[in-house]
Amino acid sequence: MNNPLAKTVLITGATSGIGKATATLFAKRGYNVIITGRRLEKLEALKQKFKKKYAVKARALCFDIRDKDATKKAWNSLEPHLQKIDILINNAGLAKGFAPIHKGKLEDWEQMIDTNIKGLLYITRLVSPKMVKAKKGHIINICSTAGHGVYLNGNVYSATKFAVDALTQSMRLDLHKHGIRVGQISPGHVEETEFAKVRFSGDEKKAAIYNDFNPLTSRDVADIIFFMTTRKSHVNIQDLLVMGTQQASASIIDRSGRK
């Protein structure tokens, strides 16, 4: 049976990778879960699983987060009680392309900027007023090591994640006096995701970037997000920079084999 006291978490980009692992963990722990993404079948399958296996309320919102009207329409389709979000996890995002700045594709740049920055803003603008009204809430942005330092050919992806870092900091300045916690996690390489496949447009050879070292898994990141959001209400973890043991920095990795 649904728990009437259960908190509600909204996770963008939950059809795969970090978002899917995080949604699954929250559902397993009894939270009502709202998941978003563009792939309807994956969303519906997850929603059914959460309802049946974990007996929680689950809603699936299928929309492209780059489209502000579609984002608003999806948000407005939620029953008012489900619009009272306790935890917003701004996860939807991608890297597209891996070219030096003079060879990059404008459409790749636009897709990253529109998703990673503008999409994050669109959903935050819809969710945060209700948090302000309720005088509570928690927002976790998924940044990256790429948001703290640049690497060769990472140019525009890094720029979007630097923007996420700036937004996390400014959102906290604006919202802390309303009792809202804002923090972010900045992971290094994470497998069990479609990140590399998307970045290299399905080229499996190029996307095989985790064969020779142990990166984080999407479940590792989900565990940390769950930890961040289950501290006592006076504790706000502002940023966690997390990498696999074999990764020392954005570009220094022990690629001598999985250990």
**Which residues contribute to the site for ligand 8X3 (CB under 6 A)?**
144-146, 154, 188-189, 250
Output the furthest CA–CA distance in the chain (Å, rounded): 57
Catalytic annotation on 210? no
For the bound state, the minimum distance from the C-beta of residue 109 to ligand NDP, rounded and expressed in Å, comes to 14
Residues 170-199 that bind ligand NDP (CB under 6 A): 187, 189-190, 193-195, 198
Q: Which does 17 bind (CB under 5 to 8 A by kind): ligand NDP, ligand 8X3, none?
A: ligand NDP
Residue closer to ligand 8X3, measured from CB, 94 or 132: 94
Pairwise CA distance, residues 31 & 9, whole Å: 7
Residue closer to ligand 8X3, measured from CB, 22 or 32: 22
For the bound state, the minimum distance from the C-beta of residue 133 to ligand NDP, rounded and expressed in Å, comes to 26
Pairwise CA distance, residues 89 & 60, whole Å: 15
Q: Which does 150 bind (CB under 5 to 8 A by kind): ligand NDP, ligand 8X3, none?
A: none
* CA dist list (Å): 15 to 89, 131, 153, 218, 249: 14, 25, 27, 12, 28
Give me the catalytic one of 31, 122, 157, 210.
157
- Cα angle 42, 35, 224 (rounded to 5 degrees) comes to 105
Strand intervals (E) in 43-201: 58-62, 87-90, 137-142, 180-187, 190-191
Which residue is nearest to ligand NDP, using beta carbons? 17
Residues involved in catalysis = 157
